[in-house]
């Protein structure tokens, strides 16, 4: 479709003719994401022309067709200039029925025609593309308080106007993700946390039976509908952005506990597919990671439903779901940084703060040792999988797995080494300055773990480096004479010295505080000071 013909028709003022040509262009380019550089100027001119038509036309079909074309063009960052002005953003906001400063938008009503609703949806899609692809558009959106206008629509978000609600939430997510000032305004001035929480309550059909306890879903309950699930996911993503900034006032604490209660409810629900359920759980975990750890007691404190006597009457259903989610992500074997580290971090911090959660996870992940014939990293238990991650190439994954196990061991070096071996734990211990042993800084309860009889009998034969019983190895020096041993020792010293001089290796030692230092420095620090007394005359 020739852009010249479309531009001529726009200049001629025949909106009906423009609509027909644009429909053909939209059909041809609906899946186009890479555009011809030679037509860049023509596409910029077309953007200007489309805005001109949108301002003069009041016919819904013409408006939705122009907006669809503008949405296709907005995939190209280089042609967005005319749309990213204040006038351009206000035009789109008006068509999306968003009330913003300096421009009154009409409220979306139930009785509105399908054609008019299509205009609103297409305008919201255009705004999403433009805001995502243009920094100037993000600035204009912040200046005219576009996010505040969107908040005014949130109380009416429902499945009856699904796409309007979905793209309103998506635009709010983009604005809050890309602008920290918008994020702060949404939290402190617009009351977005409460509004988004209300959306989650409606879409997830939350029914409270206690201050922060939702009614448990019945076994025969239907999965969340696809439309409600989509709305809930967008609300979760926007809430994640807004709750990134810390606020500790009493009213906010109450609101965050409500969110934790809704997140517990969501973790207990199912969607139509396993992949969608996993996605919902992933967004839930991300949001829980933003909440103050003191609020996470809501996950296990369920008075109406009750809990387990072993863990002080606390309910561990959600903790087990988190553990299962973590193991599933480990088994996938890909995208550990984005997919695994959030749940590891959440379980680590909740275990550090909540004794019952730590005790439950310790029992599931690090049960009392019996068989120590295999290395800790070999096997298919959760412990084996986590120990393997302690030597992962990605630093965040390695640290996350090691820190989780360390907290389960109440930050005791001896306990950690018992379950992992010194070789696997060396990275964490070096980072924490605990190579010489000891404990971390967090104070834990004094309950002690008792070793099994099998472990006690095997303990003298366990190699502390590998963490398992090794078969006796032949001594390579057994047949050597003293001269041969001395020769091999000198040879080894020369090799180490040569590698050190070439800076291929750097011999290290452990200081008194448990941190690493160059070998000479560590020896000097550990050597006793020379005596100040002298017997010489």
Question: Does residue 192 carry a pLDDT above 70?
Answer: yes
Local confidence band at 456 (pLDDT 50, 70, 90 cut-offs): confident
The residue that leads in pLDDT, 511 or 336, is 336
Question: Does residue 289 carry a pLDDT above 90?
Answer: yes
* Sign of the C-alpha dihedral computed for residues 385, 388, 389 and 393 taken in this order: negative
- pLDDT tens sequence across 421-436: 999 999 998 888 888 7
Taking all residues of the chain, what is their mean pLDDT, rounded to a whole number? 89
Tell me how crowded residue 476 is: count the other CB atoms within 10 A of its CB.
8
pLDDT at position 209 is 93
- Tell me the mean pLDDT in the region 228-239: 96
- Tell me the mean pLDDT in the region 378-401: 95
- Tell me the mean pLDDT in the region 343-351: 96
Tell me how crowded residue 200 is: count the other CB atoms within 10 A of its CB.
22
pLDDT at position 537 is 45
- HEC profile of 12-24: HCCHHHHHHHHHH
The residue that leads in pLDDT, 1 or 61, is 61
Please name the residues in contact with 142: beta carbons below 8 A apart, sequence gap of 6 or more.
Answer: 175, 179, 181, 182
CA 203 from centre of chain: 22
Local confidence band at 145 (pLDDT 50, 70, 90 cut-offs): very high
Beta carbons of 15 and 57 less than 8 angstroms apart: yes
Local confidence band at 206 (pLDDT 50, 70, 90 cut-offs): very high
Report for 122-131, 147-156, 217-226: range of highest mean pLDDT? 122-131
Q: Of 187-191, 227-231, 236-240, 524-528, which range is least confident?
A: 524-528
- Tell me the mean pLDDT in the region 249-275: 90
**What gap in Å lies between CA 214 and CA 399, rounded to an integer?**
35
Beta carbons of 276 and 229 less than 8 angstroms apart: yes
pLDDT at position 108 is 45
* Sign of the C-alpha dihedral computed for residues 236, 241, 245 and 247 taken in this order: negative
* 463: β partners: 468
Q: Of 185-189, 247-251, 420-424, which range is least confident?
A: 247-251
* Sign of the C-alpha dihedral computed for residues 465, 470, 475 and 476 taken in this order: negative
pLDDT at position 233 is 97
Tokens of 237: 């993503």
Question: Does residue 327 carry a pLDDT above 70?
Answer: yes
- Tell me the mean pLDDT in the region 226-238: 96
Question: Does residue 309 carry a pLDDT above 50?
Answer: yes
The residue that leads in pLDDT, 92 or 370, is 92
Closest CA to 149 of 189, 194, 197: 189
- pLDDT tens sequence across 475-518: 888 888 999 999 999 999 999 889 988 888 888 888 777 777 88
Q: Of 7-16, 75-84, 157-166, 182-191, which range is least confident?
A: 7-16
Question: Does residue 526 carry a pLDDT above 80?
Answer: no
Single pTM value for the model: 0.86
**What gap in Å lies between CA 285 and CA 325, rounded to an integer?**
10
Local confidence band at 328 (pLDDT 50, 70, 90 cut-offs): very high
Pairing of strands 508-510, 468-469: unpaired
Local confidence band at 463 (pLDDT 50, 70, 90 cut-offs): confident
Question: Does residue 232 carry a pLDDT above 90?
Answer: yes
pLDDT at position 51 is 94
Q: Of 68-82, 351-365, 522-536, which range is least confident?
A: 522-536
Report for 16-20, 69-73, 529-533: range of highest mean pLDDT? 69-73
pLDDT at position 111 is 37
Question: Does residue 103 carry a pLDDT above 70?
Answer: no
pLDDT at position 252 is 81
pLDDT at position 244 is 87
pLDDT at position 110 is 44
Residue given tokens 């561990």 in the structure block: 316
- pLDDT tens sequence across 154-187: 998 877 789 999 999 999 999 999 999 999 899 8
Question: Does residue 297 carry a pLDDT above 70?
Answer: yes
Question: Does residue 102 carry a pLDDT above 70?
Answer: no
pLDDT at position 384 is 96
């Amino acid at each position: 479709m020739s852009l010249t013909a479309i531009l001529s028709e726009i200049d001629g003022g025949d909106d009906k003719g423009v609509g027909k040509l644009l429909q053909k262009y939209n059909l041809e380019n609906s899946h186009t994401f890479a555009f011809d550089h030679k037509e860049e100027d023509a596409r910029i001119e077309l953007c200007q022309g489309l805005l001109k038509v949108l301002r003069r036309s009041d016919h819904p079909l013409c408006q939705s067709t122009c907006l669809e074309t503008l949405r296709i063009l907005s995939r190209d960052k280089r042609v967005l200039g005319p749309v990213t002005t204040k006038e351009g953003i206000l035009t789109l906001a008006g068509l999306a029925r968003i009330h913003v400063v300096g421009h009154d938008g009409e409220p979306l009503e139930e009785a509105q025609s399908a054609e008019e609703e299509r205009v609103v949806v297409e305008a919201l899609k255009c705004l999403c593309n433009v805001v995502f692809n243009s920094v100037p558009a993000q600035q204009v959106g912040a200046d005219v308080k576009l996010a505040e206008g969107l908040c005014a629509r949130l109380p009416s978000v429902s499945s009856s106007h699904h796409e309007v609600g979905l793209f309103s939430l998506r635009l709010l997510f983009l604005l809050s993700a890309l602008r920290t000032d918008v994020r702060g305004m949404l939290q402190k001035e617009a009351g977005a946390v409460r509004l988004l929480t209300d959306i989650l309550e409606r879409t997830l059909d939350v029914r409270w039976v206690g201050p922060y306890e939702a009614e448990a879903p019945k076994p025969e309950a239907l999965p969340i509908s696809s439309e409600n699930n989509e709305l809930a996911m967008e609300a979760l993503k926007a809430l994640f952005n807004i709750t990134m900034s810390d606020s500790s006032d009493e009213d906010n604490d109450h609101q965050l506990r409500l969110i934790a209660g809704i997140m517990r409810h969501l973790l207990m629900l199912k969607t139509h597919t396993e992949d969608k359920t996993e996605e919902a759980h992933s967004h839930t975990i991300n949001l829980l990671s933003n909440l103050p750890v003191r609020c996470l007691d809501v996950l296990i404190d369920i008075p109406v439903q009750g809990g387990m006597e072993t863990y002080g009457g606390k309910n561990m259903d959600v903790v087990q779901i988190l553990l299962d989610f973590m193991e599933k992500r480990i088994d996938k074997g890909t995208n550990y940084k984005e997919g695994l580290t959030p749940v590891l971090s959440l379980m680590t911090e909740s275990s550090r703060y909540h004794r019952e959660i730590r005790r439950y996870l310790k029992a599931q992940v690090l049960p009392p040792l019996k068989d120590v014939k295999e290395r800790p990293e070999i096997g298919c238990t959760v412990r084996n999988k986590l120990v393997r991650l302690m030597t992962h190439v990605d630093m965040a994954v390695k640290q996350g797995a090691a820190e989780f196990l360390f907290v389960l061991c109440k930050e005791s070096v001896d306990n950690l080494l018992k379950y992992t071996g010194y070789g696997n734990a060396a990275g964490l211990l070096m980072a924490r300055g605990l190579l010489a042993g000891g404990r971390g800084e967090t104070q834990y309860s004094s309950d002690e773990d008792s070793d099994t009889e099998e472990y006690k009998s095997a303990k003298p034969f366990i190699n502390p480096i590998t963490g398992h019983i090794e078969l006796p190895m032949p001594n390579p020096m057994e047949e050597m004479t003293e001269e041969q041993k001395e020769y091999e020792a000198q040879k080894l010293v020369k090799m180490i010295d040569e590698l050190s001089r070439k800076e291929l290796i750097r011999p290290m030692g452990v200081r008194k505080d448990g941190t690493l230092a160059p070998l000479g420095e560590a020896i000097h620090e550990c050597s006793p000071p020379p005596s100040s007394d002298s017997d010489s005359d």
